[in-house]
A and B are shown apart, each in its own frame.
Chain A
């Protein structure tokens, strides 16, 4: 631990991450592989004369001094930034020790249960599934007296279901992420049951016509479509001019029923914890409140450059330096049940899954995506599935024209969203 400042250094930070993951993989409904991963990395950052440099490695032969010197070289070329490492002292405990301790046999049992639920709904379904349990220990030490020990664990299941009839392939996928074993919503069982329900709805193909039908977006579709909005709320994009939300804090930009929160404190979520990857305490940041843009999210460096404070969103992907990234994004629920939404439509489309790239151009709002899976609604009922049509619109316009907001939000990866009925989107066939 570096506590003494050397003449040419102002401050420094060391991070060590040790991650152990057990994964079980199923292909064509059968267990095919068990994989164990052990990963250890160290990273150093140096702030010298206000200039920041970063170096990282998995090579245990590169000791701290050597890593520090690499970071110091990098800092020579850095741009001055008025940031400081936080003096957080934390010795955290894992949220769910039972989850941490799941063995490959137990993970296999979870996977088999999911496959059984799906295949009971449709025996033709071919399931590819990976379930993994990760244990991570993140340690941070910096020259400001910050000492953090933050163990965490997470369960992830990625399900990919194919149902073939000749050349017609129906694909459904879902990602479950959790930091806490649970029986109800958010459980592996619930994830499989939702896919099973989808397969039952998709018993028959249906036709969709071009136009602007009433559209109900599933939580998965909402999660995909709001990604450009979440990206636009990054303090880094606000600062570099690519975000359309720059300079608009305090303005009513969306339907007043839209509230969007980034919450790093949720302990049952994999991206939740007491601190971020810089040791800054996490917080619940209201990004949009009742349609009004309230906050952006920041890491230490971006906050310093923007004259703001870190919101605890400094996150590192494996060996990369921290940057502002969302943690857990929650779209607030409304009063309307899905059954009520469906029953209210004489003709409409429930969009379950969307495909398509998410290029930087989408940041400004326009999108055009392929409907990977949708359900046709006629006279208040789901009558069959549709796929292959294109759905286009502008996400900012769409969030200004909400028709109804669902009452049961569901976690899709790290985003929690309800079903939302919208207007004004174009379907092309």
Chain B
């Protein structure tokens, strides 16, 4: 990055016309490789660098400027203040604006510690790795028609400073490996992907024949699967899907920006309200080493930590930025995250999970189900604050207490409140899901992580034929 960034940022803020302003400068170096059928399809190197200044006026109006040229920060600070003035409408009644929740200024430097830093791995070795996995997939089984291997590493350097004296430097690495095959059996074709994404070094993508085998065996199994019959079923979710459920169905409702200016929404999400059984605990924790959603400080300089959203079945907390924390009179939680310098931070999750309970193991949960669905992992999910929809990656029917045939084209649809109230078993196991997949809220995706135990829910609406 250009020299003296931190000093120049601090200097530019010293004469900020706006009472509060902050600057974040990021430099992200990305190596992105896509190998198709063992041969290189995309070889792409990117350096994405830029900055963002936010200015806040006492009435609650924000002005934001983003830029790619890292010069003349003082001009940018002034430009953000002018934008804030443009957004302050003098003809609107001035209700008192609580400002930002106070946090102590922080001066810190957080460097990444990677076992095998991927920046030191030669591009030739990265290509060889991708080519080799591609060959393993293509030769893995006769049903494989096409294989795609995506390798991506990304190293982000983030500088943050504000008018309160915070000055931070953080390094955020991520590494991704995605294996996908198109498999065919006569007329029947399935496309399957398994992946891995961690805040870690090159060591985690080497010797991953386990991921190759998971991809191949899922492809072979899905080729034989029949479409699920739509209807209402008891559903057991595996840890990855339980984590996605916590994220999609409940996590987004906990992001305080949606209720900040809406009294009816605040009434819906009243602290102390019962949402699920007493064994249910849902947390968001930005402080778990190595997970893709982890970070030391959020993008406002607030330290991350573990926040209980639901404890013993009751709503006890929310996720906040400094602004939403002040608006609701609650402590900040370190959940203000931005996707890149092109956007200001919004209230976002980090690593979200259901904590293990006393519900036993998977066989314990299957035992008393006459007809149900065991659903695993996820392809995607969407929520509109109350209603949610998500798609497991694979699923089995449960018949008479046992796992039966694999089914496909499964979607779960529901209302958050009804579904949480229908959780009747929370398993004693636990796993974080280490697959790829960003959280979308706005234009660009943000790395997050989800996890949980096996969870059983009664009476879930399964869409299908």
A residues with a Cβ closer than 8 A to B are 24, 27-28, 30-41, 53-62, 70-71, 73-75, 77-79, 104-105, 108, 126, 162, 164, 166-169, 171, 240-242, 244, 319-321, 355-361, 363-364, 366, 368-370, 372, 387-392, 426, 428-429
**Pairs A–B under 8 Å by Cβ, sample size 29:** A31-B92, A34-B63, A37-B65, A56-B44, A58-B49, A58-B50, A164-B268, A171-B386, A171-B387, A242-B191, A244-B189, A355-B388, A356-B389, A356-B413, A359-B391, A360-B180, A360-B193, A361-B409, A368-B391, A368-B409, A370-B387, A390-B230, A390-B413, A390-B463, A391-B463, A392-B230, A392-B409, A426-B463, A428-B231
Q: Which residues of A lie under 8 Å from residue B61 when comparing CB positions?
A: 31-34
A337 to B386, CA, bound (A): 33
Q: Is the CB of A241 within 8 A of B182?
A: yes
Known contacts A78-B40, A368-B411; A33/B63 CB under 8 A: yes
Smallest beta-carbon distance B374→chain A, Å: 18
Known contacts A34-B87, A74-B44, A359-B379; A388/B413 CB under 8 A: yes
Q: Which residues of B lie under 8 Å from residue A108 when comparing CB positions?
A: 86-87
Q: Which residues of A lie under 8 Å from residue B46 when comparing CB positions?
A: 55-57, 319-320
Q: Is the CB of B461 within 8 A of A28?
A: no
Q: Which residues of B lie under 8 Å from residue A372 when comparing CB positions?
A: 384, 387
Does B60 touch A at the CB level, under 8 Å? yes
Known contacts A33-B62, A35-B65, A372-B384; A361/B47 CB under 8 A: no
Q: Mark B71-94, 1 if CB is under 8 A from A, else 0.
A: 000000001000110110100100
A40 to B415, CA, bound (A): 43
Q: Is the CB of B145 within 8 A of A28?
A: no
Q: Which residues of A lie under 8 Å from residue B260 when comparing CB positions?
A: 27-28
Q: Which residues of A lie under 8 Å from residue B361 when comparing CB positions?
A: none
Smallest beta-carbon distance B264→chain A, Å: 4
Q: Which residues of A lie under 8 Å from residue B464 when comparing CB positions?
A: 368, 392, 426, 428
Q: Which residues of B lie under 8 Å from residue A53 when comparing CB positions?
A: 43
Does B209 touch A at the CB level, under 8 Å? no
Known contacts A62-B47, A370-B413; A35/B83 CB under 8 A: yes
A392 to B63, CA, bound (A): 44
Q: Which residue of A lies closest to B56 (CB)?
A: A33
Besides the known contacts A104-B86, A428-B231, 6 further A-B residue pairs in the complex with CB atoms under 8 A apart: A34-B64, A77-B123, A167-B268, A357-B379, A370-B463, A392-B464
Q: Which residues of A lie under 8 Å from residue B461 when comparing CB positions?
A: 390, 428-429
Q: Is the interface of B mostly helix, strand, loop or mixed?
A: strand
Q: Is the CB of B64 within 8 A of A357?
A: no
B residues with a Cβ closer than 8 A to A are 2, 27, 36-37, 39-50, 60-69, 79, 83-84, 86-87, 89, 92, 123-124, 127, 145-146, 148, 180, 182, 184, 189-191, 193, 227, 230-231, 260-262, 264-265, 268, 342, 344, 379-391, 408-411, 413-415, 417, 461-465
**Which of A32, A74, A320, A391 has the largest count of B CB atoms less than 10 A from its CB?**
A74
Q: Is the CB of B40 within 8 A of A79?
A: yes
Q: Is the CB of A55 within 8 A of B44?
A: yes
CB within 8 A of B391: which of A62, A357, A389?
A: A357
Q: Is the CB of A426 within 8 A of B123?
A: no
Q: Is the CB of A78 within 8 A of B43?
A: yes
Q: Is the CB of B386 within 8 A of A390?
A: no
CB within 8 A of B389: which of A36, A244, A355?
A: A355
A71 to B45, CA, bound (A): 8
Q: Which residue of A lies closest to B145 (CB)?
A: A241
A388 to B268, CA, bound (A): 18
Q: Which residues of B lie under 8 Å from residue A392 when comparing CB positions?
A: 230, 409, 411, 463-465
Q: Is the CB of A79 within 8 A of B39?
A: yes
